[in-house]
Structure 1
Amino acid sequence: MFGKTTPPTLVPVQQLYLLRHGQTDFNVQGIVQGSGVDSDLNARGREQAAQFWAAYQHMPFARVYTSRLKRTRQSVQQFIDAGLPHEEHAGLNEISWGTREGTRITPEEDAEYARVLDAWKAGDDHARLPGGGSPAEVAARQRPFIDLLESRSQDEIVLVCLHGRALRVLLCQLLGYPLRYMDGFEHQNLCLYKLHRTGGHYTIRNFLDVSHLAPPR
C-alpha cells in the first residue's frame, strides 16, 4: 500500500507589467524631454493608451504605479478612472538631461551627448550631461520603489508606467544586469515588458511587446 503523497507547494508569482508612456509631440520632433519637461500625450499617444486599455482592461491588476510626470499617468488614465488604486513615485521619474532638455540631440549630431552615452556603455554610470543626472542616481532613487514592490503581496499583478531611460535602468536592476547593458533593452512608445518575480528572482516573459498597438489611423 502506497503512502499519501504531499501536494507540491505553489510558489507565489508577482507579475510586473512595465510600460513606457505613450507618444508626445516631443517624441515625434526628436526633442529630449527628461525629468524637467512635463509634456502631455499627443493624439497618437492617447490612441496608444486607448489601445492598451482595450487589450488589458480585463487583467486583474492590483494597482498601478506611475512617475510624477503627467505623460505616464495619461498613458494609464483609463485604468485609474476604472477604480484601480494608483500611486505616483518620484523614483520612477525620467533621468534628467540637464541643460539639454527641450533640445534636439542625437548621438550622430552631438559630440557631448555621444560621449556620455559611450561612457555609460563603457561602465561609467556616473557620467552625465551638464546639469543632468546619471544612471547611478536613477538607480539609487528607484531602489526604494523596488523595495516597496517586494514588500507587497507576492501574487499581485501590477502595472508600472514610466519612461524610456528609467525603464532601461529598472530592468537592469530587476534582472541583475550592470547598468552598462541598459541600451540592450529597446523601447518604443507604449511598449510593454512583462516580468515574473518568484521569491527574489525576476525573469522576463515579454520583451518589447507592442502587439496591443494598431498602426496609426
Structure 2
Amino acid sequence: MTKFYFIRHGKTEWNLEGRYQGSRGDSPLLPESYKEIKELADYLKNIQFEKIYCSPLKRTMTTAQEIKKYLNQPTLKIEVDPAFMEFNLGKMEKMKFTDAEAKYPEEVYNFRHHPDLYDPSKIEGESYPELFARMTPKIQKIYERYPESNILVVSHGAALGAEIRHLMGIPLAHIRDKGGLANTSTTILKTNDGKKFDCLEWNKTDYLKRKLDVTDII
C-alpha cells in the first residue's frame, strides 16, 4: 500500500489579496507561512517518506524545501515535476477574483461550481480533463515505482482539489462538492493498485495554530 500526502503550498501574497495565480503567476509566501509550514512538518515528522514531489513554481518549491528542512530525513529528496503545476488559468491569471468574476462570469462560476460545464477556451486556459491527463498518469507512475511507501506531493489548491477527487472516482460534475483546499493543508489518499484510491484525510489543518479565513481556501 502507498499513501500519498497531498500538501497545498503555504499562503502567498496573492492568496491574501484574492488574486488568481495559476501556472504562470506566482507570488512570495507570507512571512507567517514559514511558521505554518513548520507546524505542518511537526505533524508529519514521525512519518518516513520515500520522496517529495513538487510543482516547479516558487511557492510550491519553497514549501517543499521548508518541509524537508524540518523532517530531519537526510536521504529524502525533492523531485520537481511540471505535472504538479496549478491549472493554467490563461487570461485570468494575476487578476483579482472580483475582477475576473466581472469580466468572465461564466468561466469563473463554472470553474468553481460546475466543472462539467467549464469551458476555458475564452480565457485560453486549461480544462479539467487536460489537468487530469497530466496529473493522473504521474501519480500512477509514482505508485508503480514506490508501491509500499509514503509519498509527499506539494502542489496547488485548485489542481489538487480536482485531481484528488478524480483519483477517488468522483464524477466531474461533483468534483467541487466538498469545496476547496486550504493553504498548508494535508489530504491523504491510499492505494493498493494505483487505480483505486481511498481518502484517509481531507483538507486537514488542525495542526495550524490559527483560525482559517476565506482567503485560505480555493
User: Does 2:47 correspond to 1:59?
Assistant: yes
- Uncovered stretches (5+) of structure 2, i.e. residues with no partner: 212-218
Give the counterpart of 1:137 among 94, 113, 130. 130
Structure number with larger C-alpha Rg? 1
Q: Retained in 2: the 8 A contact 1:125–1:134? A: yes
Tell me, what secondary structure is at the counterpart of 2:43? helix
Distance 1:91 1:122, change over 3 A: closer
Q: Retained in 2: the 8 A contact 1:67–1:91? A: yes
Per residue, is there more helix in 1 or in 2?
A: 2
Q: Retained in 2: the 8 A contact 1:108–1:114? A: no
TM-score scaled by length of structure 2: 0.84
Show the counterpart of 1:6: none
How large is the RMSD of aligned CA atoms in angstroms? 2.2
The AA in structure 1 aligned to 2:68 is: I
Show the counterpart of 1:98: 90
Q: Deviations over 1:92-139 (max 9, x none)?
A: 100111122111124994262444432761623544451222112111
Show the counterpart of 1:23: 11
Tell me, what secondary structure is at the counterpart of 2:175? helix
Give the counterpart of 1:215 among 189, 201, 210. 210
- Uncovered stretches (5+) of structure 1, i.e. residues with no partner: 1-12
Q: Retained in 1: the 8 A contact 2:18–2:96? A: yes
Distance 1:142 1:132, change over 3 A: same
Show the counterpart of 1:75: 63
The AA in structure 1 aligned to 2:66 is: Q
The AA in structure 1 aligned to 2:203 is: L
> Within 1, Cα distance between the matches of 2:170 and 2:121?
20
Deviation at 1:75, TM superposition (A): 1.3
Deviation at 1:161, TM superposition (A): 0.8
Aligned residues: 204
